[in-house]
């Protein structure tokens, strides 16, 4: 387990090398990362949230959940990205629930990254919500992205059962 100060130093780079950072952390550091996700410095807080995504599992999502519910779009954008990094995100019910909410967000950046997280999650259960996003989306670029993700998820239903 690393000390808080050491983790802050790891998160201080303008261009963080997450693979290198994660290689120095373990799930024991998730408690510290969850606290750092509320750090007064936005760069430190948002990078801690991304790290929680990389290290993520159902037990260590407090920082991501709080970010997803933040009134600051900047944090919700980061939460959407963190969700896309969780291994096996499609089988993490809390993560899927958050993606389902974030694709409806009022902020276009949040919707964009949440749609990408939905694409990574790759589960059919998200397709109805994505279809609604596609139908209501005003921005042509995000609408197109929603359409792409919808068709990808819809294809999952068409795969023959074994």
Residue ranges in 11-139 assigned as alpha helix (H) = 18-23, 30-36, 42-55, 62-68, 73-85, 93-102, 108-121, 127-136
79 and 98 Cβ atoms separated by less than 8 Å: yes
CA dist 117 and 85 (Å) reads 8
Q: Which residues of 78-115 are buried (b: 16+ CB within 10 A; e: fewer)?
A: bbbbbbbbbeebbebeebbebbbbbbebebebbbbbbb
Cβ 161 to other proteins, closest distance in Å? 35
Cβ 159 to other proteins, closest distance in Å? 28
Nearer to other proteins, 14 or 157 (CB): 14
Nearer to other proteins, 20 or 26 (CB): 20
Nearer to other proteins, 8 or 156 (CB): 8
Which residues have C-beta within 8 Å of that of residue 59, sequence separation ≥ 6? Answer: 30
Nearer to other proteins, 16 or 125 (CB): 16
Cβ 160 to other proteins, closest distance in Å? 33
R_g (Cα) of the chain, nearest Å: 16
Cβ 68 to other proteins, closest distance in Å? 15
Residues found near other proteins in the complex (CB under 8 A): 9-10, 12-18, 42-43, 46-47, 49-50, 73-74, 77-78, 81, 108-110, 112-113, 139-142
Nearer to other proteins, 38 or 154 (CB): 38
Cβ 142 to other proteins, closest distance in Å? 6
């Amino acid at each position: 387990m690393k000390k808080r100060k050491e983790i802050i130093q790891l998160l201080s780079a303008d261009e963080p090398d997450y693979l290198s950072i994660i290689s120095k952390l373990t799930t024991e550091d998730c408690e510290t990362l969850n606290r750092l996700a509320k750090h007064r410095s936005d760069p430190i807080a948002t990078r801690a949230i991304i790290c929680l995504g990389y290290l993520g599992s159902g037990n260590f999502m407090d920082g991501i959940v709080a970010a997803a519910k933040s009134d600051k779009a900047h944090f919700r954008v980061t939460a959407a990205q963190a969700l896309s990094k969780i291994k096996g995100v499609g089988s993490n019910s809390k993560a899927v629930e958050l993606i389902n909410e974030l694709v409806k967000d009022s902020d276009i950046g949040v919707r964009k990254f949440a749609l990408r997280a939905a694409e990574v999650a790759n589960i059919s259960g998200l397709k109805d919500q994505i279809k609604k996003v596609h139908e209501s989306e005003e921005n042509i670029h995000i609408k197109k992205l929603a359409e792409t993700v919808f068709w990808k998820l819809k294809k999952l239903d068409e795969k023959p059962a074994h």
